[in-house]
Structure 1
Amino acid sequence: MDKNGPIIIIEDDADDQFVLEEVFGELGYSNQRMYFSDGQSALDFLYTSKDLPFIIISDINLPQLNGLELRRKVQTDAELSLKCIPYVYFTTAINQQVVIDAYSTSAQGFFVKPGQYDEIKAIIKLMIDYWKRCAAPNNF
């Protein structure tokens, strides 16, 4: 985790991407935001990029490679797991089994997307501020 690294957002809904970008803009975080509309393109980026992302914020229901499958691949790949990138779910997919499945991938958080802009903004602020304050093995 690089606290100044890019924020990876995996979201296939263009409207949600727009709202998230507005939220990040209002909150004033300097991290570059990178949007991917499917899990496979995000994974390809993680494999090929020299950047050390700050955090991955992922939907669950995604084309090609869903958020759960992507997390498992990141978690089980030795090189990617050593990057210590926090992986947080931000999704409308909510039921007990989905939450169990998400935490079985050792996710660092599961947040339900609210319908109101101010609530989305509050959750993103909470999420980013928390990880900005956390220590990780590779940010000393």
Structure 2
Amino acid sequence: MNKNGDIIIIEDDPDDRFMLEEVFIILDFPNKRKYFDDGSAALEYLESTNDLPFLILSDVNMPKLGGLELRKKLYTDARLNLRCIPYLFFSTSIDQSAVIEAYSMSAQGFFVKPVKFEELRDTIKLIVDYWRKCAAPNNF
């Protein structure tokens, strides 16, 4: 995990993307953000870059390649899996089967997007602060 790496945000809703970016600006985290509309575009980027992102925030339901399908591809690809990029789901909807499926593929978290801006800010701060303090096999 590269604590100075980019934060990958996979989100197809423009309003949610705008709100997330506002939160990151307010929190003044130094990590750049890269936004992708769907899992397919994010996968293409991750397969083609040598950059080591800090973490991935992914919606569940998206066109082309959804978040659960993307997580499965990353989890089963040895090269990408060894990069130790924390993969967190961040979705407006939640159901038990999606959460079970996410954790069965070693997702590191499943969060429901808060409706209120302040709650969204607090959740993002909590997530980023946690992963900044967390040790990973590849950050020694």
- Shorter-chain TM-score: which interval? over 0.9
CA root-mean-square deviation: 0.6
Amino acid at match of 1:109: G
Equivalent position of 2:96 in the other structure: 96
Question: What's the counterpart of residue 9 of structure 2?
Answer: 9
Q: Counterpart of 2:84?
A: 84
> What is the number of residues matched between the two proteins?
140
1:97 offset after TM fit, Å? 1.3
Question: SS where residue 64 of structure 1 aligns?
Answer: coil
TM-score, length of structure 2 as denominator length: 0.98
Q: Equivalent residues in 2 for 1:23-38 (5 A)? A: 23-38=23-38
How far is the alpha carbon of 1:78 from its aligned partner?
0.8
User: 1:41-60, CA deviations, whole angstroms, 9 ceiling, x for partnerless residues?
Assistant: 00000000111000000000
Query: Deviations along 1:10-69, whole A, 9 cap, x unmatched?
Result: 000001000000000000101010000000000000000111000000000011110000
Question: What's the CA shift for 1:100?
Answer: 1.1
4+ aligned runs moved over 2 Å, structure 1: none
Question: SS of 2:12's equivalent?
Answer: coil
Q: Deviation per CA, 1:115-140: give whole Å up to 9, x if none.
A: 10000001100000000000111111
Structure-2 residue corresponding to 1:20: 20
Residue 54 (str. 1) matches residue 58 (str. 2) = no
Structure 1: gaps (5+ residues): none
Displacement, 1:93? 1.8
Q: Which runs of 5+ in 2 are unaligned?
A: none
